[in-house]
Structure 1
């Protein structure tokens, strides 16, 4: 388990976050550019090592009723990952992506070289985009998944 000081150093390494000291020695970290009402990415980081990260929109975590995940036992890698994903989930989409995605549900897939593909269901097809470029079209979700996995992509 990371100490309070280690967690604090990791969190403070994210320049997008602003520190806000609160009661009982706890610290919040806000993301002011959030496109939602939620600004807290890190909530009530406590000197005993307890704290929470906002993960309402992250499928790989099970947040509490307020949308937070307890980070008490997180490793450095796990803590960095959840904070990066939390910030990304609260960030505005680039205009080009917004034009493609709109209100559609999307999945983001990334490979070892940090290239990202976006999988979107459009009418009766599953389309894979790289930026603004349509990379591939599939008639089923399973076909799209198989393609992405064969190409070395994992779900973000």
Structure 2
């Protein structure tokens, strides 16, 4: 039995969605955000609200890497609102499970903000796996070092 490559599609998801998903799995949150934003501009509801949630989730993870916990908390609240505006499944992703994972992330950030926890548990990063898509065996949790906007890459060639 041959195993499919991660991100290989079994269904007809938009290429930008799959590109963003692969980047998210690799910890490239900036680039994932960009891929999903390009699709977000073209679609209607409920995909639009779902993609806004994913874009904000990417931003929250970037802020988490920087230790900007208030920003993370605010972004996760937006993620929750966008997901609540969607039906139970969008682009093959079961939203009740994603909402539970986002809530666990919110509790983690609240504990850090309240001082009862010092370190962020990156294992709580939400797992986004649409129906028919094979995820990688391991996902990168922390943000990848090369995940910077193109303008910053030009300014800092060492990245």
Question: Aligning the two structures, in what range does the TM-score lie when normalised by the shorter sequence?
Answer: under 0.3
TM-score, normalised to structure 2, is 0.24
> Rg bigger for which structure?
1
Bigger share in helix: 2
